[in-house]
Amino acid sequence: MAVERTLIIVKPDAMEKGALGKILDRFIQEGFKIVGLKMFRFTPRTAGEFYKVHRERPFFNELVEFMSSGPVVAAVLEGEDAVRRVREIIGPTDSEEARRVAPNSIRALFGTDKGKNAVHASDSPESAKEEICFIFSGLELV
To the nearest 10°, report the CA torsion of 73, 21, 111, 29: 110
DSSP letter at 81 equals T
Residues 73, 30: Cα–Cα separation, whole Å: 19
C-beta atoms surrounding 80 within 10 Å: 12
Cβ(37)–Cβ(73) below 8 Å:
yes
Residues 80, 64: Cα–Cα separation, whole Å: 31
Helix 82-90 / helix 125-135 crossing angle, nearest 10 deg = 80
User: Catalytic annotation on 54?
Assistant: no
From the list 120, 121, 128, 136, the catalytic residue is 120
Neighbouring residues of 135: CB distance < 8 A, sequence distance ≥ 6: 7, 9, 36, 38, 50, 74
Question: Which residues are tagged catalytic?
Answer: 120
